[in-house]
Amino acid sequence: MQADIERILISRQQIEHRIKEMARQIVADHSNGGEVTLVPILTGAMIFCADLMRQMPIELQIGMMTVSSYPGAATATQGSQLVGQQVKNVTGRHILLLDDILDSGGTLKLVIPLLERLKPASVKVCVLLRKDRPSAREVQADYVGFDIPDEFVVGYGLDYDDYYRNLPDIVTLKREAIEKRK
């Protein structure tokens, strides 16, 4: 896997530091009370969610939603489809929707209205990465870990053909690595 990496865009140390900062802000924003439910978009946001929630010393619950946007060996979104959800009763609770990357905005445009129909007190969006593209700027993200160039990235939960999620850094791949999986 290491031989497939073109360059490290965001190091594991930068990620760890930024997640601690985000957690402090989220906790401060919820200091007035109200119950919080984290809803990560699986599978990409699972590592982000685990690390973030360990930094949040507040009472919270967790739900999950699975959305497919990059099936198989795709490097561009193919449109978002809800695959499944496990969200308990969130009526009157604050929802913090977690996603690994905001690029086309399709996933959040699909999921936010579904969550709003469950009558929560609020729905806030927290993304680890936001790509520098107009479609990403059209969707409101309340918490953003990093703004990145419009490049295809993997690692820290993000994948290519379901590989590379276990890399601890956010990286770009060599062209040969992408070609070998097509």
Q: Which residues are catalytic?
A: 103
| Rg of the chain over all Cα atoms, to the nearest angstrom | 16
Burial 63-79 (b: 16+ CB within 10 A, else e): bbbebbbbeeeeeebee
Q: Say if residues 39 and 115 touch (Cβ distance below 8 Å).
A: yes
Can you say whether the dihedral through the CA atoms of 39, 111, 88, 84 is positive or negative? negative
